[in-house]
Amino acid sequence: MPAKMLTGESIKRFLKISGRRHLFITGSKGIGKTTLFNKILSDITGLSKPNIITFAVPEKAVYFRCGSQTVKIGDYCADIPGKSNKMKININIENICVPVLNELSCSKEEWTAIDEIGYIEAENLKYCNAILKIMDSKRLFAVIRKQDIPFLNEIKNRKDVCLIDLDNVFNQIGCVIMASGQGKRFGSNKLLVKFGDCSVLENTLKAVNLPFGARVLVTRYNEAAKLCEKYNIKAVVHNFPYRSDTVRIGIKEVEKAEIKGCIFFQGDQPLLSRETAEVMSLMINMHPDKIHRLFFDVQQGTPVYFPAKYFETLKNLPQGKGGNCIIKENPDDVVLVPAKNQWELKDIDTPFDLEILITKKPD
C-alpha cells in the first residue's frame, strides 16, 4: 500500500519543492491515511501528536478530541437516508470545537495538525470558517475525508495545498527502465557489473520497486531480463539498434494499463534513490499533464516523465532519437524536480565513470 511506501523525507521534499503551505492526506477508507499521518507527523511539523483528533464509533457517535478534552459532535441517526453519513450534528461543534479551533489559529506554533476533517465538520459553517482561519494564519497538516462535499473540495483544491491521494500515488503512472545500451565504451555489459552489494542494474530496480500501474524493463540482455523476476517486473528482450526503438517498445507495453503518463528510468544510474522516485511520483500527481525531469544545479537528466498526450510522438521518434527532442520543442511544458545530489543523475558509460561512482555516497 502507498502508506507503507511513502516516507517522511520524500513527503517533506515534495512539500518544499511544491512551494505550497498546507499538506492534506486523503484516500479511501482503510487505505492507511491515519497510519501515514502519524508516521510522518513529527518529520513534517515537529509536533509529537495531532492538535485535533476526530473519530467515529460506528452506529453511535462522532467525537472531537483536543488534548485531554473529548466531546461528542455527532449522534448516530438511523433515519437519515442513504447507507452512509448517518451522524446528526451536535451543538458541541459550535459551543466547544469552534472556540478551540479559533484559539489554535492564534497559537505561536507554525503548524496545526488535524486527524481528520470529515463530513460532520463540513456541514457546519462556523467550523468551516474556523478551519479557513487556521489556513490563513498558520500551516495545516490534515487527514481529509475523500468525499464529494463542497467545503472539502474547496480546501483540497486550493492553490496553497499539497494533496496526497493514497489511492492514486503510483498506480496511474507507468515505469519504463531503459537497459538496451550496447556498452561499447564500457567494453562489457555494464548493467551486470557489481556495484555495492548487487549489480548496477539491480540498484535501479530497487529504486523503482514501487507499485506503479505498469513496469517494464526493455533490454537486449537475457541476464538483465532474468534479474527482473526477483522484482516482479516484466522484461522485453529485443535486438533493435536504436534508442528510439527502446522508447517505442516501452510505451507500447505500459500503455496497455490505465495510466496517465510514464516515467523513463535508466538502468545504469545506480545512485538514484527510491526516495527521489517517490518525490517525482508525488510531483507528477500534482501536475499530471506536464513533463517532469530530474535536475541538479545546471544539469538536467533522467528520470523523465511524459504525460500520455506525448505517447504517440514517443512511439514515432526519429531514428536514434530519445525524448529530448520533445523536451526541446516544449520547454514551457517541463517541470524540473531537484535531485538529492549530483550523483543521482550520473550514469555509467566507461569504467572510469564506474570507478568514480563507486567512491561516492549519496548525501
Q: pLDDT in tens for each of the 363 residues of the chain?
A: 455 678 999 999 999 999 999 999 999 998 999 999 999 999 999 999 999 999 989 889 899 999 999 999 988 887 777 777 677 889 999 999 999 999 999 999 999 999 999 989 999 999 999 999 999 999 999 999 999 999 999 999 999 999 999 999 999 999 999 998 766 778 778 899 999 889 999 999 999 999 999 999 999 999 999 999 999 999 999 988 888 999 999 999 999 998 999 999 999 999 999 999 999 999 999 999 999 999 999 999 999 999 999 999 999 999 878 899 999 999 999 999 999 999 999 999 888 999 999 887 554
136 and 35 in a single domain? The answer is yes
Residue 317: DSSP 8-state: P
203 and 142 in a single domain? The answer is no
Tell me which residue has cell 507495453: 253
Q: Which of 300, 295, 348 is nearest to 328 (CA)?
A: 300
In sequence order, what are the residues at sequence separation of 6 or more whose Cβ sits closer than 8 angstroms to the Cβ of residue 174?
212, 213, 214, 215, 216, 254, 255, 257, 259, 261, 262, 263
Strand pairing class (111-117; 87-89): unpaired
- Residue 196 cell numbers, joined: 555495492
pLDDT value at position 183?
A: 66
- Residue 39 cell numbers, joined: 508516521
In this structure, is residue 257 part of a structural domain?
yes
In sequence order, what are the residues at sequence separation of 6 or more whose Cβ sits closer than 8 angstroms to the Cβ of residue 215?
174, 175, 177, 208, 233, 234, 254
262 and 124 in a single domain? The answer is no
In this structure, is residue 335 part of a structural domain?
yes
Collapsing DSSP to helix, strand or coil, 140 comes out as: strand
Alpha carbon distance 171, 258 (integer Å):
9
Q: Length of the chain, please?
A: 363
Of 103, 134, 165, the residue that ends a domain is 165
In this structure, is residue 70 part of a structural domain?
yes
Total domain count for the chain? 2
191 and 94 in a single domain? The answer is no
127 and 179 in a single domain? The answer is no
196 and 319 in a single domain? The answer is yes
pLDDT value at position 303?
A: 97
pLDDT value at position 361?
A: 57
140 and 100 in a single domain? The answer is yes
Task: Provide φ and ψ at 16, rounded to 5°.
Answer: -65, -45
Domain of 157, in residue numbers: 2-165
Distance of CA 60 to the CA centre of its chain: 36
Cα distances from 260 to residues 111, 159, 171, 323, in angstroms, run 33, 22, 9, 17
352 and 336 in a single domain? The answer is yes
In this structure, is residue 309 part of a structural domain?
yes
Of 165, 195, 211, the residue that ends a domain is 165
Alpha carbon distance 62, 42 (integer Å):
26
pLDDT value at position 362?
A: 56
DSSP track, 110-127: SEEEEEEE-HHHHT-HHH
In sequence order, what are the residues at sequence separation of 6 or more whose Cβ sits closer than 8 angstroms to the Cβ of residue 361?
none
297 and 180 in a single domain? The answer is yes
Distance of CA 158 to the CA centre of its chain: 18
Query: Which own/partner contact pairs does 254-259 have at CB distance under 8 Å and 24+ positions apart?
Result: 254/174, 254/175, 254/176, 254/213, 254/214, 254/215, 254/216, 255/174, 255/308, 255/311, 256/214, 257/174, 257/213, 257/214, 258/172, 258/213, 259/172, 259/173, 259/174, 259/213, 259/214, 259/308
Alpha carbon distance 152, 343 (integer Å):
41
pLDDT value at position 176?
A: 98
Of 165, 189, 209, the residue that ends a domain is 165
Task: Provide φ and ψ at 310, rounded to 5°.
Answer: -100, 5
pLDDT value at position 306?
A: 98
201 and 328 in a single domain? The answer is yes
Per the CB < 8 A criterion, the answer to whether 295 and 345 are in contact is: yes
92 and 207 in a single domain? The answer is no
Alpha carbon distance 245, 238 (integer Å):
9
- CATH number of the domain bearing residue 126: 3.40.50.300
Alpha carbon distance 73, 167 (integer Å):
28
Alpha carbon distance 1, 12 (integer Å):
19
92 and 177 in a single domain? The answer is no
In this structure, is residue 363 part of a structural domain?
no
Strand pairing class (111-117; 52-57): parallel
- CATH number of the domain bearing residue 341: 3.90.550.10
